[in-house]
Chains A and B, each alone.
Chain A
Amino acid sequence: MEKALLPDGSPDRRNSEVRLVPAPENSLCFENAAGLVESAQSLLQQHPAELVVELGQVELIDSSGLRALLHIRKACEAAGVLFRLGSPTECVDRIIAMSKLNGFFGIPYRRRAARPVEPVAGLDLQAPGWKISEYRAVSDPSVISSLRERAARAAGEAGAEGETLCDIQIAVGEALTNAYKHGSPRKGISQIQMRCMTCPAAIVVEVQDEGAVFDPDDASTPEPHKMRDHGMGIYLMREAMDVVEFESDCPGNRVRMIKWLRDGG
């Protein structure tokens, strides 16, 4: 643990307290990430020696949450305050590992287990046996978490658990966040559709929005520490899911994501 330094390099002796930033329960996502940054910044006003963002309750984090953490870290750096993540959960570990930020946050890189599931050849979505649930919603931040939870529930019912379930939640969350942020020209009126199809072998999630056509290949490998405002979502989706396909369904875009399930086959 390094000593806190002031911007001029001299050790800071003003305050040696450690302040905990309480992260929201359950999820640190698109809808509450901004709140976390605000509370961290208000704590920074008190010039603590160290700021710890307590993530023990965070079951789910997405790119917005990750960006919030990066934001806080930068602010700490600027204020000369030490920054640390407190007891990150599996999901937080996953997303940090996926975005290759372990070093940045000082978290040891945990090697992922080799993918145990073989892809199913010739996936027939029309075949009987698929459980299909369809949703249609107006673009609203509250709807995103609700839809993500429903997808997670469908995945859970199909047998996904642990890291796989975490991946699915991250990817679906990113897809929905993208649909809200970029695919809804009229917030609150534009509609987002989601279709979850599950069978023992796989879960397929389709998210459709009303946004303008875009080229998913433009989203190259991002560099999150550069604090770019976007570009993380598609990268994370591709990392988290086994198949990610984009279709332009004018007007609108559709992303189809497939995750092979561990006990399928």
Chain B
Amino acid sequence: MGINSSVRAVWDQLSAGGLALARLFKLRSIRSKLILALLGAVAPALLLHVWDEVRCVGRSAAAERAYDTLMICLSLAAAALGLAIVFVAANRLAHPIRRLAHAANAMSVGDYRKRVKLHTTDELQALAESFNALGRSLMKHEALVRHQAEMLAGMAEAARMASSTLHLVECGRVIAKVMCSHLGARDATVFRALTGEGEMKPIGRCGKRARSVWRLVARRVAESGEQLMISDRGAAQPGTRSAEEGILVGVPLSAGDETVGAIVARFEGVRRGDLQPGSVRGDILHTFGIHAAAAISNAEVHTQSEEYSEVLEEWVDHLSAVMQVADAISPSLTLDETLEALARATAAALNADECSIFRPDREGFLVVTACTNPDLQPMATAKFRPDEAETGRAFLEKRTVVCRDLRRSKFALTRRRAEESGMRSVLATPLMVGDGAIGVIRVASARPRQFMPREIRLLTSISLHTAVIVRNADLYTRESSIAETLQSNLVSEAPEECRGLRFASRYIPAWDEARIGGDFYEVTPLPDGKVGVVIGDVSGKGLAAAIHLAACKYMMKPLMLAHPDDPAEVLTQLNQALNYYFNGSFFVTMFYGAIDCETGSILYANAGHLPGLLISERGKLHSWLSGTGGPLGAGENWSYQTQRATASPGDVLLLYTDGVTDVPVGNCVLGIEGLENIVFEAGQCPVSELLGTVCDRLAGDAGAVQRDDIALLAASFEEVGVSRPALLGGIGGKGSLARW
């Protein structure tokens, strides 16, 4: 041990001496160091040799021998010294190389922090310095890669947001969150620029609430479109450093050319240089701003479309309300029914407790025409002058009147009515036709209610519809009442009995009063014990049809009397007359039969009318009395032929118009076959009962709406030929039909 430590001490001294020597000689390279070491190794032997030469002069042999022995010893010592010097020098050279190798190994496994410090002043020191520089640059590179990864993560997040259609506020929050979690900000707030106002509105934040200075930063960033960075001292006084100190960065949100807002974020513990535009993180922030702006625009479009869809929904509501109201206007209903349905639909559409429609009477009082509340109707039927109630005000001033609280109305009548009915708020709109008001539609609510502009618009559009309906209905009523008067005078019940024939008739006008058609029938006694039966259908509806019907009927009568034996002649002449007077402006289908009451012989002609049915064999056999020419009045060239059918006792002649056969049954119409089936099922029964059965079945089949007039005429041959057998001649074989 003792020897070891002393050897080490000597070694150290030697190396220090070597080093000092190297410094002394300013040795800068390994080569010179090697040369020095070599010199050091050879030098003792040389010195010994020189000293030996000097001492050889004048010495004795004995002394010479002693001296030689000494010389040998000294030479050995010199050699040993030289070896030692070489050994030390070699070691000094190898040590830094080993250190460098060690550091290089560490770097190869990713530890770039290892540095090697050498003071050898030679090439090895330069190598170590280069090695250290390599380590530093690798570290920098690694940091760059890490930043890029961060940037990519941030971009991915921003892209995800941009692609998802988030709500605007949610989008802002996510952006702020990404700013904090991925980009190292302590606090972040996303501001949205309000269009045209230069105002910034925070739409999402992460961390602390934004202070007012943030908003200023955001506004400046949004205006300039450039990234902005200021140091943030927080609440601390200028000049003093505090823990709150950080850097405030404003990142513009630029979508295309437009800046839609800004992100303001506070960083702590980050150097300014790291956030500058151009630095890695600065660039990340910039790119993130672009992506975030896309996300916000996206979310905005989404939010906007949501808002639009809300508006649309409102419009759809509005439209469906109007549709409901339009549905209420069915041609099958009378005006009163239509207005009732309309009032109900309006009350439902406006979510009101009551809806009433008022119309003025001849004396100028307003009268309730329709009201949804049955309890209020008796009270409401009391008429009132327009100038003594809120509702009347709408009528007089021809504008919409809203009264939030009826109990505070200036009209005593309105206040009293409100007390009685419990209604608090009303909205009344006049029914305008041109410049004149023809009534008022009013909705009332039992609780105080602020009517929305949308509701007022809705009621106005309903009032327009209603006004048109009421006006048209007035016109229709006038015309249809005239037509009905004419029609009812022209088509009367057939006589129950005429010359032994039993008759029954039905006339059912179409439900729509103004659509009354030109169906008619007539039973007239003719000379020679005959009876003329006519059924016809004049084209057209309403007043015109009634007038044409009258013309047909009154022209027909003298012709029938003049030609009792020739129905074809009657129709031919009537056709010519109609063509002459009306020149084809209308036409009429007609069945005319002259019945010989004694024989049961039916001479008939049919001008385009549906075939008459001669029902025989106790209702089991139908003979069709079909057409022999076209409708009357449609052209002069039609010729008609008289045909003959013969009825036996118990037979029934059934005549009808197309209102019967056109009754809808499922997807089809009843048709002649359908009528025949009804008659087959009815079997044998008195004519009035037969017609009753037919009408009941028609009403059942027609359901709610009968669109056309229905006329039915039936003659029963109960009495015919009872006294003597009918002559059915024309057939060969004697008496083959005699049992008739």
Contact = CB atoms under 8 A, between A and B. Distances in A.
B623 A59 contact: no
Given A132-B626, A134-B626, A160 B620 contact: no
B737 to A, nearest CB: 6
B733 A137 contact: no
Given A149-B731, A153-B731, A136 B617 contact: no
Interface stretch (A35-43, A139-147, A227-235, A249-257): A139-147
Interface in B599-627: 611, 616-618, 620-624, 626
A165 B733 contact: yes
Contacts of B624: 133-136
Contacts of A191: 680
B728 interface: yes
B2 interface: no
A155 B732 CA distance: 9
A138 interface: yes
A134 B617 contact: no
A254 to B, nearest CB: 16
A137 B622 contact: yes
A132 B616 CA distance: 18
Contacts of B645: 133
Contacts of A153: 728, 730-731, 737
Contacts of B324: none
Contact of B617 (A132, A142, A162): A142
Interface string A153-191: 101110011100110000000000000000000000001
A138 B679 CA distance: 11
Contacts of B736: 26-27, 59-60, 149, 152
B623 A135 contact: yes
B642 to A, nearest CB: 11
A133 B623 contact: yes
A84 interface: no
A150 B651 CA distance: 15
A60 B733 contact: yes
A13 interface: no
B148 interface: no
Contacts of A142: 617-618, 620
Nearest to B683: A138
B731 A147 contact: no
B616 A161 contact: no
B735 interface: yes
A135 B621 contact: yes
Nearest to B639: A128
Nearest to A164: B732
B676 interface: yes
Nearest to A138: B620
B610 to A, nearest CB: 12
B409 interface: no
Contacts, number: 76
Given A133-B624, A136-B622, A157-B730, A146 B735 contact: no
B733 A143 contact: no
Nearest to A139: B620
A131 interface: yes
B739 interface: yes
Contacts of B617: 137, 140, 142-143, 146
A131 B643 contact: yes
B731 A152 contact: yes
Contacts of B733: 59-60, 152, 165-166
Interface string B713-732: 00000000000000010111
Contacts of B622: 135-137
Contacts of A132: 626
A137 B620 contact: yes
Nearest to A135: B623
Interface in B684-740: 728, 730-739
- Counting chain A CB atoms within 10 Å of each CB, the highest count among B618, B730, B733 belongs to B733
Contacts of B611: 134
A134 B731 contact: no
Contacts of B731: 149, 152-153, 155-157, 165
Contacts of B680: 138, 191
Nearest to A188: B620
Given A135-B623, A137-B621, A165 B732 contact: yes
Interface string A122-134: 0000000001111
A26 B732 contact: no
B728 A134 contact: no
Given A26-B735, A26-B736, A146 B621 contact: yes
B590 to A, nearest CB: 19
Contacts of A138: 620-621, 680
B604 to A, nearest CB: 12
Contacts of A147: 621
A25 B735 CA distance: 10
A191 B611 CA distance: 18
B77 to A, nearest CB: 143
B732 A162 contact: yes
A237 B728 CA distance: 26
Contacts of B738: 26
A146 to B, nearest CB: 5
Contacts of B673: 136
Interface in A94-150: 131-138, 140, 142-143, 146-147, 149-150
A98 to B, nearest CB: 18
Contacts of A135: 621-624
A157 B732 CA distance: 9
A183 B733 CA distance: 29
B16 to A, nearest CB: 130
Contacts of B626: 132-134
A147 B680 CA distance: 16
Nearest to B736: A59
A150 B623 contact: yes
B737 A149 contact: yes
B739 A26 contact: yes
Contacts of A150: 623
B295 to A, nearest CB: 70
A244 B735 CA distance: 29
Contact of A140 (B620, B732, B739): B620
Among B737, B738, B739, which residue has the most Cβ atoms of chain A within 10 A? B737
A156 B732 CA distance: 6
A131 B616 CA distance: 21
Interface in A43-93: 59-60
A151 to B, nearest CB: 10
B283 to A, nearest CB: 85
Contact of A143 (B620, B676, B734, B739): B620
Contacts of B643: 131
Nearest to B616: A146
16 contacts: A25-B739, A27-B736, A59-B733, A60-B736, A135-B622, A135-B623, A135-B624, A136-B621, A138-B680, A142-B620, A143-B617, A147-B621, A149-B731, A152-B736, A153-B730, A156-B731
Given A143-B617, A149-B731, 16 more contacts: A25-B739, A26-B735, A26-B739, A133-B645, A134-B624, A135-B621, A136-B624, A136-B676, A137-B620, A138-B620, A142-B620, A147-B621, A153-B728, A153-B737, A156-B731, A157-B731
- Give 3 nearest A-B pairs by CB, closest first: A156-B731, A134-B624, A137-B621
